[in-house]
Amino acid sequence: MTRIGVVGATGLVGNEMLRILEERKFPVQELRAFASSRSEGRRVPFGERWVRCEVLRPGCFEGLDLVMIDVDDPLAVEWAPVAAEAGAKVVDNSAAFRMEPDVPLVVAEVNPDDVDEMPRRIVSCPNCTTMVLLTAVAPLHRAAGIERMVVSTYQSVSGAGQAGIRELDDQWTRDVSRTERLRRAGALEGLIVPGQVWPKPIAANVIPLAGSVGERGYTSEEWKLVHETRKILHDDSVAVTATCVRVPVYVGHAMAVNLSFRSPVTRGQALELLGRAPGVRLVDDGNGYPTPLDSAGIDPVLVGRVRSDPSNPGGLDLWVTGDNLRKGAALNAVQLAELIVDRE
């Protein structure tokens, strides 16, 4: 039995972690929930009982075996080492430690053995987009070696947390129907009002800029796909380029992926590999295709529209989607916790 702490327990991912711990019958002897001061004393559900939230403070992790963290990077930088120094193993879902050389970055179905080496007692979960993508493409990489990957993402608003969901809700209910009436009447005013999370409206729109703009005009989300892919696959030679797009979908990230391989891969070979890949559900019968709505609330990553690339013999195009809150974050964190407990 394990004494476990969940930091960020009142957030979207934190709530999902608690649900999955209960669903998967994780051996919890004691559970402590941590949240911000405004949520101190708030009760969060864990199975048939409720757990009262505490605030982070000196000594709060004493006696815990495992701490799962889903908070902003600065808080993770501050408190993950504190939990490790208190004797706990830490599963961190922030971006704070992902590219640290002495912190493994792990997708449970792809590189589980990396949890065997945790010199800082911290293991990191990748970005939710990377998580969904690599669950699907890693079996193809193991079989034929991905040489180049071109990715276009369609990322849901829940990737920006509760604020993203509220902003989409507000714009749909407040602005969209009114704007449509004005458009039909020939009026120019009444356009959807931008919110606080994104500088342009997300309702009835797509925003081809996810994350902050950085080096060479690529965003932080796009660079995460590049660097995290190479670290997880243990292969710095994989060329990755991405365009990350935010879409007015509540839950579920999707990706259109073009792959070039060192050894040619046929569509039939790809279907066979994906059909038996852990954590993957193939939805490709010639007419079938998965959508973000299909992936919402379930564990598997869904893959469909697998095609041989006519412009690149031996290459593939495919469509991937997965629940960004579940497999993209909370489920993988729980799976890593299970791996740690199993090895101990």
Note the pLDDT of residue 249: 96
> What's residue 181's pLDDT?
57
Other CB atoms within a 10 A radius of the CB of residue 69 amount to 27
pLDDT at 207: 96
Q: What pLDDT score was predicted for residue 79?
A: 98
Task: Confirm whether 253 is a catalytic residue.
Answer: yes
pLDDT at 159: 93
The pLDDT value recorded for residue 188 is 42
How high is the pLDDT of residue 288?
Answer: 82
Predicted pLDDT at 17 = 96
Query: What's the sign of the alpha-carbon dihedral 11, 71, 113, 223?
Result: positive
**53 annotated active-site:** no
CB 237 within 8 A of CB 144: no
Q: How far apart are CA 55 and CA 7, in angstroms?
A: 9
Q: How far is CA 48 from the centre of its chain?
A: 27
Could you please report the per-residue DSSP string of 106-166? --TTT-GGGGG--TTSEEEPPPHHHHHHHHHHHHHHHHH-EEEEEEEEEE-GGGG-HHHHH
Radius of gyration of the chain measured on its C-alpha atoms? 21
Q: 187-209: per-residue pLDDT in tens?
A: 444 567 778 999 999 988 999 99
- For residues 118-136, average pLDDT: 98
**Residue tagged 């919402």 (tokens):** 296
Flag whether pLDDT at 184 surpasses 60: no
* pLDDT tops 70 at residue 183: no
Model confidence pLDDT, tens digit, residues 7-66: 999 999 999 999 999 999 999 999 999 998 888 889 999 988 999 999 999 999 999 999
| End-to-end Cα separation, the chain, in angstroms | 11
Which tokens in the block code for residue 148? 């180049």
What gap in Å lies between CA 132 and CA 64, rounded to an integer?
Answer: 30
- What Å distances lie between residue 212 and 90, 206, 218, 220, 315, CA to CA? 27, 16, 8, 5, 31
β-bridge partners, 246: 155, 207
CB 32 within 8 A of CB 39: no
Give which of 315, 325, 32, 283 is closest to 147, Cα–Cα: 315
Do residues 248 and 202 lie in contact, with contact meaning Cβ atoms separated by under 8 Å?
A: yes
Average pLDDT, the chain: 93
Tell me what pLDDT residue 104 has.
Answer: 98
List, in sequence order, every beta strand (DSSP E) within 210-252: 239-246
Lookup: tokens for 207: 């925003």
> Active-site residue among 60, 125, 141, 253?
253
d(CA 51, CA 32): 7
Average pLDDT over residues 271-296: 92
pLDDT score for 187:
47
* Domains of the chain, first to last: 2-126+330-343 (3.40.50.720), 130-156+206-324 (3.30.360.10)
Tens of pLDDT, residues 63-111: 999 999 999 999 999 999 999 999 999 999 999 999 999 999 999 999 9
DSSP state letter for 22? H
Residue 287 banded pLDDT, cuts 50, 70, 90: confident
From 60, 125, 128, 244, active-site residue? 128
Sign of CA dihedral 38, 336, 296, 303: positive
- Region 288-312: mean pLDDT is 96
